[in-house]
Structure formats: C-alpha cells, structure tokens
Structure 1
Amino acid sequence: MSSPIVEVQGGKLKGEVNKTVDNVEFLTFKGIPYAKPPVGELRFSIPVPPEPWDGIRDATKDCNICAQFDSTSQSVVGDEDCLYLNVYTPKLLTDGTLMPVMVFIHGGGFIHGHGTNYSAHSPDYLIEKDVVIVSFNYRLGILGFLSLDCKDAPGNMGLRDQVQALKWVQKNIKQFGGDPDNVTIFGFSAGGASVEYLLLSPLARGLFHKAIAQSGSTLLPWAQNHKLKKLAYKIPSTKGKAITTDQDLLSFLKNLPIKDLIALSITAMSTSTFRGGIYFGFVPTIEKPGDWEPFLDKKPYDLLSRGEFTKVPFMSGCCTHEGLLMLATEELLARLEKLVKEKFFFEFLPFDIAEGDKLEMENKLKSAYLDAQHEFDDNNAFAIDFFTDVDFFGGGYISSCLIAKRSSPVYFFEFAYDGGLNYLKKKYNIHHKGACHGDEGGYLLKSEILRNSKVSKTDELVRNRLVEMWTNFAKYGNPTPQVNELLPIKWEPVTETGLAYLYIDENIKMKDELYPARTKLFKDLFAKYDLLSA
C-alpha cells in the first residue's frame, strides 16, 4: 500500500508508508486540518471546524508550525495557519478490531514547540505496540492565550484548540483503525499541564479516557497567569501608542503583522517581574464570565480539591533534577546563580505569603534545602532542588495527591535515569549529573535531536520499559498488568493515605515518602496561600 487513502469528515486523504527504526511498517497521514485557519478576524477567536475539500488531499508533507519566537535565530518562525494534526497508525481497519489511541500534546511553555514536525516527535517506539498515535499543533503565546474578557479573545484559545483536536479524533479516528472509546492524552511540560487542564475543563468531558501528565501541572507558576490584560496593554506602549479601551487594544493587536505581534509580545514579557525560575507570559488563565462557554472559570487548586474534574485513570511524574533546566540559558542561569550566592529563597517563591509569615517561611525554606542531604555535592545542588520543586515537582506532586483523593487509579513516577537518550540535556548540552526536565521524553518518542546519540544496552532497556508501561496504560489503564522479565515489579497506584511511586533508573522499584520535608512544605504552601501571577 504505497499511497493509502482514508476518507474523513471533510474529504479524502492520501498518506504514505513509513518504517520504524526496527524496520516495522506503519502509515502516516500529515497536515490534516482539524479547525479553520485562525487568521484575519478569527485571530484570537474560539476555534471552529474546518472547511471540507474536494478531491484527495495530500497528507504526506509536514504542515506549518504555529507562529512563535525562535530563540536560536532570534526571529519569528511559523505561521498563523497552523491548526493541523498528524495520525500514525500500524494499519487501517480491516477485521473490525480497533486499536487504542494515544494523543500527544507537545510542550514548550505554551510559547514554543510544535506537534506535527515528523523529525521532532516521531512515534517509532510506540507505534510498534499496536497503538494509533495522534499529534497536533495548537496556538501559542499571545495567539493562543490573549485574554481580554470578550468573545473575540476570551483566553485559553490554545487549550480550546486542543479540545477541537480531540473532537476531531472522536469523529474520525475509526477510519485509521483507532478506538474513539479508548483515547489516552499524554504530554511533557506544557503538554503535561495541558493534560491536567483538559481534566479540569467541562469542554473536554468525554473526549478522552486516560491521561498522562509528565513534568507539568495546572498548579505550576509558569502554567497560569491571571494578569494577561495588564501584559497585553504593554504591547502598544512599546510602540509609543496610547490605548485605553479593551476594544481598541483588540483591534490594534488584530491588525498587527504577525511577526510584529509575536516580537512585541516577547518584548512585553521581558519587562515582567516574576517569582519562580521560569516565566512564559501568555499562558492559561481563569476566564471571567461572559457570553461564551468558558474553558476554565475557577482556580485549578479549588477544582482539584473539590473533585470537580474528569475522573479517568491518571499517571503523573517528574524527573529527579528538573531544575537542571536552569542551566539551559544565560537568563535562567543568572537566576540560579543569584540564589546560590545570596541564599535568599523567598525572592523566588511564587506564593502570596502573608507579611507576618515571611520570616518563618524563609527559615523553613533554608531548613528544607540548605540543611538537607543532596544527591550530588555541587555547590548549586540545593538551588537545583529548589527550582525542581518550585517549577515542576511541587505542583505535580500536590495535584496527583488531590486527584488520588477523589479518583483512582493514580500512578506516580520519578525518572532518575541519566543516559544517552535524555532529551533536554542533549538539546541544551547540559553536562551536570542527573535527569533534567523532560529527559524521559527521549525514551518514548524518536527525535532528530538524539540522532547521533550513542545508545547503550541500558538505554535500550529503559526505553523498552517506558514504552511498554506507557502503552500498557493506554490499553488497560494499568502500566504493569502483569509482572515479567521486562517489568519485574508491579507499579502500585497512589492511595489516599500516601504517595507510593515508581522509581525509574537503571532498575525500577517502588518507593514511599518522596522527599518528605520538601513535599510537606509544598502541601502547606498550596493549602494556605495563592500562587502569584507576574
């Protein structure tokens, strides 16, 4: 089948045959429109279904990535016309047997990244386990998350794009051999936070049946901003233009050339002060009431605490040294070095601490990080651990605990393996020991970044284990349905009384009490204080 043809709602698609690294054939359909291009008057608007097409659409080429600022070239890349998805399937439906579907949501802080560039995220490892893989783009930065409290820019458009993509999956995935009643959403970083947001939003109910949030949560400071209008008003002021009404601001932003809009939004973000290690500006927010159906209108912590979320089998986890991300750029490194030198934690703690509690909190922070044992003896180890917790682990741990109180099963992992396929360490050339933020991604998805990496037998073992557990979870809602040579232990779910978790290194094992002093600190912080917005 050199040119497979599939008919979906909208028209016919011509795909192509590919082979995995192990020479296993699978079918690829790229650049499928799942929404109408959000251009012109539709810039910042809620997504709408795509227009049908005549004839057979060529689905063999990568589509546009969404418009974004590329820090390497210091230029705006991509396009506004970007709402497309890819489908990868082991086979088309022949005998009536449908396969589980795994929908990948890319990361990048809600301002970078893409899900449809084949070389960046290819499904070679997963596809061999008889699952259908879907990946897609969603609007980023100001295009996806401008919020002006009106129907033409309500906020969370990028998350609404994700809902629209999931609706497309429900309507069309059978044509590719996928089971619309067995859909797992999974993602890293902002993709992991997106998974949690989809759990919380009524708009996504019934569109998926299992969820995996890796190194991302709705409770992280960089994954929410409730001062987006203030940020948006900075954009015309950078051009020396005085705008005083929301409607005039919307008109101004709609009419800016796309490259100017993206570049000016990055400039506006750079003038913001913030707590924590990382900040991305235009990200998800809580919407104010209006004449549209909100994606999110309550605080994530409150929704999780009250059990107001979609209750499906859930997997979450983090890498041991997420905070190594602070070594990735000069700007992040400067924040890390400031903490190492001054040892004043409160400056980077993104919670609205009552004035009378600040001294006590600073002492608790020093006790938890300066007086604690660290895996490595480096002088910045305490700061790496602190930023690990502030930007990733703290929120992910708390959200998993809250979900486990209202729903089961919930599985939690800690990825500690430091090998040849550790994704972000390779991408940013980080030589520090330990598993960095997003490093487990290289063991699940094939990436061009890792093309020249030397892969050891242990790397292959870790990769095979992760692929087996993730696809088991997609198939059965249980990552270890049976113990065998590859998976020698049973991954126990989290309970209401404690967080049992799977420790993933060269060997895998179950553990209890993950960083007890640090987890207690964040339990108290989330229970007592609100997160700060920039």
Structure 2
Amino acid sequence: ATNNVVIRLSSCLFSQTIRMTSPIVEISDGKLQGYETKTLNNKRYYVFQGIPFAKPPTGELRFLAPEPPEPWEGIRDATKNCNICAQFDRTAQVVIGDEDCLYLNVYTPEIPREGKGGGALPVMVFVHGGGFMYGDGTDTTKHGPEYLVEQDVILVSFNYRLGILGFLSLDRKDAPGNMGLKDQVQALKWVQRNISQFGGDPGNVTVFGVSAGGASVEYLLLSPTARGLFHKALKQSGSSLLHWAHNDNMRDIIMKIPQVKENNITDDEQVLHLLKNLPYKDLIKASMAAIAAETDFKGGILFRFVPTVEKPGDWEPFLDRSPYELLSRGEVARVPVVTGFCSREGLLMRGSSPHVLEKLKQNKKFLDHLPFAVDDTQKATLEAELKTVYSESESRYGEDDEYAIDFFSDVDFISGVYVSALLLAKSDIPVYFYEFAYDGKLNYLKTKLGLKSPGACHGDDGGYVMTSAILPIDNISDTDKLVRDRMVAMFTNFAKYGDPTPSEDSVLPVRCTRLAAAPAQCLRVDADLAMRPFGTPAREQLLRRLYDGHYAPK
C-alpha cells in the first residue's frame, strides 16, 4: 500500500488522527481501500467506511426487504463518510440523509497479512438508537471505536432504514413492515461472509446497542431470520416489550398521513402507490405530521413507525408473533445476554417531553400516563398502588418531580428491560444484569441535552463505551476514567468470553453473577461496583404484574 499521510484536527475527540497507509482488503463484492490510524494511546487500527451491505432501497425497492449489494470492479474508496438514512432533524426542522444509506463501517486493530498467521478477533456489531426514527451508525464523531479497538476487538457499525421508510406495514409483500430490522439481519449476513478478511472471527459475533438499538438486539434474539448470525447479545436500556418499541395498529397512523387523509384513500393499493411515489423528503414530512396528530398517547415518548408483528403472507416475516409470547415460551436464540439500564432513565423527559412531565407533576394521576390496558375494576387499586410506589417513596435527590422521573424511567424503559431479562433467565439463557448509576463527564445524553440533574440519564452509559465529539477524552477525573475502563472491560470481556466479569481484578473487583428468578440482583456500576437488589419489593412486583396481565381487561 502507498503512504498517504493526512492530519485531521478535532477539538474534543481526536487531538491528532494520522492516516499513515492505505490498506486494501478484498471481500465478496470487490476490493476496498481504507486507512490506518492510531488511538490517543498509540494503538494502531484500520478504518473502512461506507461499505455497501445491500442495494440502495430506492425506486421500486422502497419498502421492500433488502437485497444483496452489487459487486464492483476495481478498488472502492472506503475512506469517506457515507450517507446516513433519511430522517427528520428535529433541531433544524428539515429532512436530512438519503434513501441510499445501507452502508457499514469496519474498525479493526489487525488485518490478515498474506503468509502471516494471526488469531481471529472477536467482533462487536453496534446497532444505533434513536427510537427507530433517528440517528445513524456510521458517523465516527458520534460512535467512535477507540476504546473498543484498544481491547483487540473489531467494531462494525451500520445504518438501517428509519421511520416510515423502515417500518411502514400494509400486511403485503411490497410493504411487509420491519424493513429496518431486516436491514440489520442483512448487515449481520455481510459480517458472516466478510469479517474474516478484516481479521475477525465470524463464529464470535456480539450484537450490542442502546435504546432502540437495545430493543433491536432483543428483536434479533427473537427472529428466526437472525439465528446463527451472532453469538452474544448486549442490550442497553432497550427491549421489544416497551410500549414505544412496537406498534400493534400501524393502519391507524397511516390513515393520519395528510395526503392519505385528505384524499380519503382507504384502498391499500392506492395508499402504497401514493407513498411509494412521494419524494422521500415529502414522505418523511408527511409521516411526522401524522405522528404530531397523535396527542392522546400514554407513556413519555412516541414514535409509531416502529417494529410490528407481520401478518401471514407470501414472504418471510422477521416477526410473526408478539415479543412477549416468544419470550414467555423461550423461543429465542440460545446465546448469552447482558442487559442493563440507567438509574434515572426518565431524565430524558426533561429534554424530550417536559410538558408531559409537568402534567404528571401537577396532577399526580399516574393512570393517565400508564401505557398498559387496565380493567375498569382494577383502576382505583392500581392508581393507589402507583402513588404508593412512586409519590410516597423516599426522595434521593431532593427534586420536586423526582417521583415523575422515576415513573417514566420505569414505564418507558426499565420495566421492559427487567421483565424481558427475567423471561430470558427463566428459559435458562445466561443473563447478566447491570444498573448504570454513575454521574460523570462522559454521561452521553445528559451532556447532549445540557441536563444538570444528578444521576444517570437514558443512554448515559454509552459515553463510557464509545467516544463522541461532544464528550471530553482526557480532561476527566480519575473516577471517570475508572468507570470508563470498567464499562469497556465488561463489554469486551463479554464479547471475548461470554461473561462481563470472568474474574476479579483491579478494574472489576466484583463479579456480575447470572440473573436468577425474581427478585433480581444486578451489578450496580457507580463510583464503586456492587451486586444489589433490583429496586424495592413493591416496585419490582408492580413491574412484573403490569406485563403478566394482572391488571388487563378480562
């Protein structure tokens, strides 16, 4: 390879990124030229960006399951950022990204050399979050690989279709639903075919993700289409059971799309023709208008164009039964699982839905915000129980809306994470359960949203696993560094050994034991590490009863 030195400056993330050589790798579809660089600790690794893992899902391929990419001649430049998937930018109030977005990045500390041996490295495949509506997996300034590649693992990150383009469902082969999840399966198939060319072990693949990425990991555990494509699963603050992570009535939101509603279109063929032929920016704006029309919703967050159970048809479904049924029956991939949550997930509400938070704070009517069906005969009893568990609980932070934060933490995130963990453990799946409670300079979402409240917000643990341009990399406390080292060690230990704490050492002096039956124990990650009970007995029992149908209409 020829020398190709480029120095790139960045105020927060990389003080100096030096491209030294241009390595070439040949995969099943053609040759790729990436670049070599180093971490701040002088660890060398190789970067390959914008690798197609499917055909662009444009034109007649809109709303269809992904198809394998076309091969290319010559050497493809894999040193530049690719398109992200089309989505609505809530800050700028414009559509960004493109329909042509099914690309992935590979970051590897080792490339096999001709005539030289070398052990195959563990592979970690990152699934980004964003409510199935927002985000991307290919922008290195958001999800940097440095901490992970320093531990001799390969990181693969990718984009998948979002929102209406990724999850429209009309119960037919040309719009079956779950296209974004099928993109994820396609990316995992690409890893199986090609990762050995980058020094990776296709027999040791860990999928991990946060929020909707965590829910996606759980969906991958449930789908027969993903069997054998990965060998370990790590879920951060996400579950397929959560109210925002599935939609059982997609047709309702489709009928609220302005162009559908105004023209009184009810025939599926006409709806599909309309949506397939709208320019993608107009389509996304229309879908956002439909979501904005949903004013009477429960819980703290709402997305709507998300995964759904597919009806039987003449295509291979990603999911044909409810997640709760599959989890209850143990019809899941038999692989080890790490699952975790942040102690104050609901701090997200301060940035995303402050008006909803304020309403509960003022009226303390918990049932108005509970995203579960409740029988009329149970409502008074349940409202009293909710008030006991939340508004009468002991204050830990001295904030007047603390109980509301705790309530939304549970109903939007922790409840589904906890119940799914119990169901997996009941099926004799090795499950390791953690709570992230640390509050430091690398807490990702608190930094992004400018939140000053104490505790760990939704998504905050991600900043201790992957680098981000909004977070410092060296101007942090010794405890910040220790917690970062612990999280990276837990994640990469799991990728290597199937156990986040295979032995005790100076970084991880406490082992995370396998989750057993309720009441559960979890590894609490704070300035110190400790195994502790999950929540109070009253709270723990309430969350289980919400999912087992105890309060549901009879």
Q: What is the TM-score of this pair, normalised by structure 2?
A: 0.94
- Structure 1 residues 368-389: Cα deviation after superposition (integer angstroms, max 9, x where no partner): 1111113212110000000000
Asked whether 1:154 is paired with 2:176, we answer: yes
CA–CA distance in 2 between the matches of 1:439 and 1:77?
25
Q: Which runs of 5+ in 1 are unaligned?
A: none
Distance change (3 Å), C-alpha of 1:452 and 1:23: closer
Asked whether 1:43 is paired with 2:43, we answer: no
What SS does the aligned partner of 2:434 have? strand
1:473 Cα deviation after fit = 0.4
CA–CA distance in 1 between the matches of 2:356 and 2:402?
14
CA–CA distance in 2 between the matches of 1:531 and 1:299?
16
Asked whether 1:483 is paired with 2:467, we answer: no
1:531 Cα deviation after fit = 9.1
Asked whether 1:376 is paired with 2:397, we answer: yes
Asked whether 1:101 is paired with 2:120, we answer: no
Distance change (3 Å), C-alpha of 1:445 and 1:438: same
- Structure 1 residues 27-57: Cα deviation after superposition (integer angstroms, max 9, x where no partner): 0000000000000010010101000001000
What SS does the aligned partner of 2:48 have? strand
Task: Give the equivalent residue in structure 2 for 1:289.
Answer: 312
The answer to whether the 8 A contact 2:378-2:551 is kept is: no
Amino acid at match of 1:286: V
Task: Give the equivalent residue in structure 1 for 2:185.
Answer: 163
Distance change (3 Å), C-alpha of 1:184 and 1:349: same
Asked whether 1:278 is paired with 2:297, we answer: no
Task: Give the equivalent residue in structure 2 for 1:392.
Answer: 413
CA–CA distance in 1 between the matches of 2:427 and 2:55?
37
1:513 Cα deviation after fit = 3.9
What SS does the aligned partner of 1:113 have? coil
Q: Which runs of 5+ in 2 are unaligned?
A: 2-20
What SS does the aligned partner of 2:338 have? strand
- Structure 1 residues 256-314: Cα deviation after superposition (integer angstroms, max 9, x where no partner): 01111001100100111311000111001111111011111111111101101101110
Shifted more, 505-514 versus 411-420: the winner is: 505-514
Aligned-residue CA RMSD (Å)? 1.4
Task: Give the equivalent residue in structure 1 for 2:209.
Answer: 187
Q: What is the TM-score of this pair, normalised by structure 1?
A: 0.97
- Structure 1 residues 119-166: Cα deviation after superposition (integer angstroms, max 9, x where no partner): 111110010000010000000000000000000110100000000000
Asked whether 1:31 is paired with 2:53, we answer: no
1:486 Cα deviation after fit = 1.1
1:453 Cα deviation after fit = 8.3
Task: Give the equivalent residue in structure 1 for 2:236.
Answer: 214
1:242 Cα deviation after fit = 2.2
Task: Give the equivalent residue in structure 1 for 2:333.
Answer: 310
Task: Give the equivalent residue in structure 2 for 1:269.
Answer: 291
- Structure 1 residues 476-518: Cα deviation after superposition (integer angstroms, max 9, x where no partner): 0011111111111111110135422100001111112433221
CA–CA distance in 1 between the matches of 2:172 and 2:429?
37
Task: Give the equivalent residue in structure 1 for 2:441.
Answer: 420
The answer to whether the 8 A contact 2:422-2:518 is kept is: no
Task: Give the equivalent residue in structure 1 for 2:12.
Answer: none
What SS does the aligned partner of 2:255 have? helix
Asked whether 1:516 is paired with 2:537, we answer: yes
Amino acid at match of 1:82: C
Asked whether 1:442 is paired with 2:463, we answer: yes
The answer to whether the 8 A contact 2:374-2:552 is kept is: no
Distance change (3 Å), C-alpha of 1:75 and 1:343: same
Task: Give the equivalent residue in structure 1 for 2:17.
Answer: none
Percent of aligned positions that are identical: 57
What SS does the aligned partner of 2:302 have? coil
- Structure 1 residues 419-462: Cα deviation after superposition (integer angstroms, max 9, x where no partner): 00000000000111110000000000000121488411111110
Aligned length: 530
Asked whether 1:8 is paired with 2:27, we answer: yes
The answer to whether the 8 A contact 1:105-1:192 is kept is: yes
Task: Give the equivalent residue in structure 1 for 2:142.
Answer: 120
Amino acid at match of 1:99: L
Distance change (3 Å), C-alpha of 1:271 and 1:343: same
CA–CA distance in 2 between the matches of 1:254 and 1:530?
41
Task: Give the equivalent residue in structure 1 for 2:104.
Answer: 85
CA–CA distance in 1 between the matches of 2:380 and 2:144?
49
Residue from 302, 321, 330 that aligns with 2:344: 321
1:106 Cα deviation after fit = 0.2
1:107 Cα deviation after fit = 0.2
Shifted more, 16-25 versus 161-170: the winner is: 16-25
CA–CA distance in 2 between the matches of 1:312 and 1:293?
23
